[in-house]
């Protein structure tokens, strides 16, 4: 099985889990067509090296996917309302900056510079929040993952690499605000208490609803930030 088949199959499995659970209702799903240039990992890394001077190592191969976009949205059907959404962009689309991140005057100069240079990997267009995650390519060609919360005017570096971001996205189904579990924040603060409450409901519920996933490490991250 090719790596792209593996990740795309995992996406399909994640969608099926949402559909089959009584707890959740799938409200949107879309796998964009496969573009000829972007259907092969070798072709993609060669083109990005030539056109963008960005060199992807083999760690990107395991989570490579061919569709230009994988977009899923859902909401809970029982208990306190929990919603999730992810709109994953093809790595070629991200690095070539087909989506330009917004400017935010509320951020400091250094943060605005990082935000402006992000290669967007994930958005939530149906939710209309303006939140996004992106890769920041450092001067020594390392890849950092950052999360931007438009509503709270926050930009946070995440304790995740690209593969880890995608892995958690599928396990946690893009639950709104999950990225804060990997940021250096206190979730018991006034501005994040709603996010914390939502994540607590999710982590109380998901182990039973989606028993094929292990959420203990995420629970530990939540407790460390409360």
- Containing domain of residue 140, as a range? 3-224
For residue 5, the model assigns a pLDDT of 57
Q: Count the alpha carbons within 13 Å of 212 in the hemisphere toward its beta carbon.
A: 9
For residue 6, the model assigns a pLDDT of 87
For residue 197, the model assigns a pLDDT of 96
Q: What are phi and psi of 179, to 5 degrees?
A: -60, -25
Long-range (24+ apart) CB contacts under 8 A made by 35-39 are: 35/68, 35/90, 37/92, 38/66, 38/68, 38/90, 38/92, 38/93, 39/4, 39/66
Q: Please, which residues have CB within 8 angstroms of residue 102's CB and are 6 or more apart in sequence? A: 115, 130, 148, 150
Count other Cβ atoms within 10 Å, centred on residue 14.
21
Q: What are phi and psi of 36, to 5 degrees?
A: -55, -45
Rg (CA), the chain: 17
For residue 154, the model assigns a pLDDT of 97
Sign of CA dihedral 189, 195, 198, 202: negative
Nearest residue to 220 (alpha-carbon basis) of 200, 205, 201, 206: 200
For residue 206, the model assigns a pLDDT of 98
For residue 38, the model assigns a pLDDT of 87
Count of domains forming the chain: 1
H-type alpha helices, the chain: 3-20, 41-51, 91-95, 109-116, 162-172, 193-209, 216-224
Each residue's pLDDT tens digit, 57-68 = 888 998 999 999
Distance CA 130, CA 44 (A): 28
For residue 3, the model assigns a pLDDT of 47
Each residue's pLDDT tens digit, 59-107 = 899 899 999 999 999 999 999 999 999 999 999 999 999 899 999 999 9
Residues of the chain with pLDDT under 70: 1-5
């Amino acid at each position: 099985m090719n790596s792209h088949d593996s990740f795309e199959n995992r996406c399909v499995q994640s969608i099926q889990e949402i559909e089959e659970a009584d707890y959740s209702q799938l409200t949107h799903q879309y796998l964009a067509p496969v573009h000829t240039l972007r259907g092969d990992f070798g072709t993609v890394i060669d083109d990005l090296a030539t056109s963008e001077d960005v060199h992807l190592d083999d760690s990107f191969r395991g989570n490579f996917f061919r569709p230009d976009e994988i977009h899923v949205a859902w909401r809970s059907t029982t208990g306190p309302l929990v919603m999730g959404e992810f709109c994953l962009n093809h790595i070629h689309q991200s690095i070539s900056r087909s989506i330009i991140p917004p400017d935010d005057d509320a951020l400091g100069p250094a943060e605005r510079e990082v935000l402006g240079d992000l290669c967007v990997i994930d958005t939530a267009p149906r939710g209309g929040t303006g939140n996004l995650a992106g890769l920041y390519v450092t001067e020594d060609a390392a890849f950092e993952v950052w999360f931007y919360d438009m509503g709270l005017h926050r930009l946070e570096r995440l304790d995740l690499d690209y593969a880890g971001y995608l892995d958690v996205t599928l396990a946690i189904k893009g639950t709104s605000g999950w990225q804060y579990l990997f940021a250096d924040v206190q979730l018991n603060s006034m501005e994040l208490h709603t996010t914390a409450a939502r994540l607590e409901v999710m982590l109380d519920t998901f182990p039973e609803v989606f028993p094929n996933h292990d959420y203990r490490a995420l629970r530990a991250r939540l407790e460390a930030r409360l």
